[in-house]
């Protein structure tokens, strides 16, 4: 189902939620650019607690803030089919990120979480990093354009020392700085599962570049 840029109202969101509660065939819903607010996200979250077929939900570029993210996080604790959740381009901050992180500690089906271009800072990234130490199903995490800074990048690098499932980590344009890039490059020596680390528009120190070069030499060898 694709309802891209249709600007759903609360009534339409309620109808869709009722459909999701009973439909047994729908697997993908794309609701990006629909002016969805927290109340709509909360309505959809209630449906996700019941739905058992949906695997992909795109809610990017809407007006979802922390309360909406918290509702969706609650749904993730009971939903056992959703594998992709895209919340990029919303007004989600650290409180929403912490709620999603807590859900990741128990959720065992979500494989891709997109939180790019949100208001998530280093505290939210730190909470997600703690969840990655326990989660064993997430393979892709996109925080590109979030303001996680060096402290958030360091926390994620520490999580990567023990996490063995994450394959893709996108942190481009996230202001990770020299400290963050250094920590991320250093952890590559310990992590053998991360296949793609995106750091576009990040500041690389000479030492960080040397760490990356050393890692490349080891992987080629």
pLDDT digits (tens, 9 = 90+) for 175-201: 888 888 889 988 988 899 999 999 887
Is pLDDT above 70 for 105?
A: yes
Which token pair is 81?
A: 């089919």
Q: What is the pLDDT of residue 220?
A: 47
Choice among 33-37, 56-60, 67-71 with the minimum mean pLDDT? 33-37
In contact, 90 and 59? CB cutoff 8 Å: yes
pTM: 0.90
Q: Is 179 helix (H, G, I), strand (E, B) or coil?
A: helix
Q: Is 194 helix (H, G, I), strand (E, B) or coil?
A: coil
Question: Which span out of 5-14, 110-119, 185-194 was modeled with the highest average pLDDT?
Answer: 110-119
CA 166, distance to chain mean position in Å, is: 12
In contact, 132 and 145? CB cutoff 8 Å: no
**Span 127-166, pLDDT tens digits:** 999 999 999 999 999 999 999 999 999 999 999 999 999 9
Residue with tokens 């949906």: 54
In contact, 185 and 158? CB cutoff 8 Å: no
In contact, 126 and 154? CB cutoff 8 Å: no
């Amino acid at each position: 189902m694709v309802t891209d840029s249709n600007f759903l109202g609360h009534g339409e969101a309620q109808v869709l939620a009722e459909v999701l509660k009973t439909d047994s065939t729908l697997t993908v819903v794309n609701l990006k650019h629909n002016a969805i607010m927290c109340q709509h996200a909360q309505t959809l979250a209630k449906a996700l607690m019941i739905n058992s077929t949906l695997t992909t939900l795109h809610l990017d570029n809407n007006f979802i803030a922390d309360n909406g993210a918290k509702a969706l996080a609650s749904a993730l604790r009971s939903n056992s089919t959703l594998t992709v959740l895209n919340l990029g381009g919303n007004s989600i901050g650290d409180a929403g990120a912490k709620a999603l992180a807590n859900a990741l500690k128990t959720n065992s089906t979500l494989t891709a979480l997109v939180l790019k271009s949100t208001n998530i800072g280093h505290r939210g990234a730190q909470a997600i990093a703690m969840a990655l130490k326990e989660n064993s199903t997430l393979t892709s995490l996109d925080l590109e354009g979030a303001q996680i800074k060096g402290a958030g990048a360091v926390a994620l690098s520490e999580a990567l020392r023990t996490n063995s499932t994450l394959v893709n980590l996108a942190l481009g344009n996230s202001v990770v700085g020299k400290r963050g890039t250094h920590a991320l490059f250093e952890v590559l020596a310990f992590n053998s599962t991360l296949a793609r680390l995106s750091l576009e528009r990040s500041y690389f120190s000479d030492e960080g570049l040397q760490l990356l070069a050393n890692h490349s030499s080891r992987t080629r060898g």
